[in-house]
Amino acid sequence: MQIISKISRGIVLAFFLAVLFSCEGKIKKIDQIISKDSLPEISVDQVQMLYSDSGIVRMKLFAKALERYTSIDSPYIDFPKGVMVFFFTKQKAREASLNAGWAHYDEKKDLWEYRTKVKIVNRQGDILTTNHLFADRRKDSLYTKELVTINSADGFSITGKDGFRSNVDFTDYEFETVVGTGKAEE
């Protein structure tokens, strides 16, 4: 009888130790999931942001949601529900517009990343479409290594199968591996 009692106590003790250690692992996972680095310091719905240079509005950004992460080595802002951006010249004329289903801004690198149905329209009426695009303000550069199509206002369509690079204003651009169509005059 004592042997069975000792075995029962051993089984009960083993059960409690197993529960204790399995809970400890789950607590660590929960801590990782909800660590302060994984949560935004700022979370805002229905955002309108203005960027100005010397008192002149150069960019207006609209977003349904903004999440800002600042307590990490590389602070960033996510726009998980997309953005609509309007760019302006120093003379206050609209220079270009951009729409994307998702956006990310790396504050240290001054680098924007846009994904999902990215569309840019420049002042000449040229329309760029792609699913992934970077905008590097420091290098005055837009670029991607993915498929990009530009439909120009004068009826030409150009596709860069392996990417493209442009100035930030989207007025001077070059392609990798070009395919194009256009209208011929009679």
Residue 48, pLDDT score: 92
Interatomic CA distance for residues 32 and 26, integer angstroms:
10
Lowest mean pLDDT among 2-11, 66-75, 156-165: 2-11
Query: What was the pLDDT predicted at 30?
Result: 53
Mean pLDDT, to the nearest integer, of 162-166?
83
Beta strand pairing status for 83-88 and 56-69? antiparallel
pLDDT at 14 over 70: no
Per-residue model confidence (pLDDT) at position 19: 59
Q: What is the mean pLDDT of residues 58-64?
A: 91
List, for residues 102-141, the tens digit of each pLDDT value.
999 998 998 999 999 999 998 889 899 999 999 998 888 8
101 contact partners, CB below 8 Å, separation of at least 6: 81, 82, 115, 116, 117, 118
Q: What is the 3-state secondary structure (H, E, C) of the chain?
A: CHHHHHHHHHHHHHHHHHHHHHHHHHHHHHHHHCCHHHCCCEEEEEEEEEEEECCEEEEEEEEEEEEEECCCCCCEEEECCCEEEEEECCCCCEEEEEEECEEEEECCCCEEEEEEEEEEEECCCCEEEEEEEEEECCCCEEEECCCEEEECCCCCEEEECCCEEECCCCCCEEECCEEEECCCCC
pLDDT at site 163: 81
Q: Please check the confidence at residue 18 and state whether its pLDDT lies above 90.
A: no
- Length of the chain in residues, anyone? 186
Residues 67-79: what's their mean pLDDT? 87
pLDDT for res 54: 85
Nearest to 102 by CA among 115, 111, 120, 112: 115
pTM recorded for the entire structure: 0.72
Mean pLDDT of 66-70: 88
Give the pLDDT of residue 123.
Answer: 87
pLDDT level of residue 183 (50, 70, 90 thresholds): low
pLDDT band of 168, cuts 50, 70, 90:
confident
What is the Cα–Cα distance from 91 to 50, expressed in whole angstroms? 16
What is the structure's pLDDT at 1?
46
